[in-house]
Amino acid sequence: MEKFIQLVVDGLSIGSVYAAIALAIVLVHSATGLINFAQGGMAVLATYVAWVLTNRGVPLVLAILGSILFSFVLGAVVERYLMRRFERGDPDTAVVVTIGLLTLITGIAGWLWTYNNQQFPSLFPLDTVSLLGVSISIRSIGTTLVIIVAMVLLQGLFFGTKLGLALRAVAINPQSAAFSGLPVERLLMVGWGLAAALGAVAGALVAPQLTLTPGMLDSVLVYGLAAVILGGLTSPVGVVIAAWIIGVLENLAAVYVGFIGFDLKVAVPFILIFVVLIVRPQGLFGRKTVVRV
């Protein structure tokens, strides 16, 4: 029983990291209609910035805050100077551009900092606490809590502020939003910036566990995309829940389903996705797109 609970909590923790990347992808998709494959790569770059800062003696929390700020600016700059040229054209082209950007960023990170694994300090102590007689790692609890806080803040931004309302309006119909005087281009930069900042949070949370490499978030990106598909592109809460389901299931399957083990556990979420998509093509929580004539 203790092992089971520990596996669930660890699964929630890694699922939270998938959730952060998945939320970033949903944020960009809802603003611009694009899937940004470079979301993970940009987050890795931000994590390297935090790593460089800690190596220079900056306290970890400040270093991570610095990397979040860097990431926000990076996201805004990528939108302004790269993606804007492709946003009104063929969406397929734009998606390929983001894949190119991922390759480019990975290459730059490898060139600057080598492909060796770097140790990244953990925000949380590596101890365990005893909860109801079960010992649970503090890092898992902390990671999950940070993502929950980020999710609540994001929800508050979107549904409680004028900026959030403007971001949603631009996502629905940029041209019509401009007719009410909304500065569409600046709002798109903010959307990309927020997404990238979220990615930086994910990077800093997962780096101590995976160790920092230029390709650190490649598999996280795949799981994040899986969560996006499973949860439904239109539902931020659904995406987070889907990410948690994936994290927990993959952990449990590796231990309890004999033939899967740690080598095959990567396949678990995708089998789940196939099944879900056959039954519900819009994802677990997504809304069906109704086309009115």
Partner 1 sequence: MTLLELEDVTASYGPVQVLDGVSLSVPENGAFGILGANGAGKTTTLRAISGTVRAGGRIVFAGKDIRGLRPDRVAALGIAHVPEGRGTLGDLTVRENLRVGAYLRKDSKGIDEDIEYCLDLFPNLRERISSNASALSGGEQQMLAVARAIMSKPRLLLLDEASLGLAPSTAKNVYDAIRRLRVESGIAMLVVEQNANLAFTLVDSATVLETGRNVLTGTSAELKGMDEIRRAYLGG
Tell me the closest approach of the beta carbon of residue 53 to partner 1, in angstroms.
37
Using the minimum distance from each CB to partner 1, give the nearer residue, 9 or 189.
189
Using the minimum distance from each CB to partner 1, give the nearer residue, 81 or 179.
179
Rounded Cα–Cα distance for residues 121 and 221 (Å): 22
Three-state DSSP string of 128-191: EEEECCEEEEHHHHHHHHHHHHHHHHHHHHHHHCHHHHHHHHHHHCHHHHHCCCCCHHHHHHHH
Tell me the closest approach of the beta carbon of residue 174 to partner 1, in angstroms.
9
Using the minimum distance from each CB to partner 1, give the nearer residue, 126 or 291.
291
Tell me the closest approach of the beta carbon of residue 168 to partner 1, in angstroms.
6
Which are the contacts of 81, defined by CB distance < 8 A and separation ≥ 6? none
Using the minimum distance from each CB to partner 1, give the nearer residue, 182 or 249.
182
Residues that bind partner 1 (CB under 8 A): 162, 165-166, 168-169, 172-173, 175-184
Tell me the closest approach of the beta carbon of residue 170 to partner 1, in angstroms.
9
Tell me the closest approach of the beta carbon of residue 233 to partner 1, in angstroms.
13
CA dihedral defined by 208, 211, 215, 220, rounded to 10 degrees? Answer: -40
Check residue 115 and report its DSSP letter.
S
Q: Decide: 224 and 246 in contact? Cβ < 8 Å.
A: no
Using the minimum distance from each CB to partner 1, give the nearer residue, 174 or 214.
174
Using the minimum distance from each CB to partner 1, give the nearer residue, 109 or 167.
167
Among candidate residues 96, 88, 104, 115, the one with its CA nearest the CA of residue 33: 88
Tell me the closest approach of the beta carbon of residue 241 to partner 1, in angstroms.
20
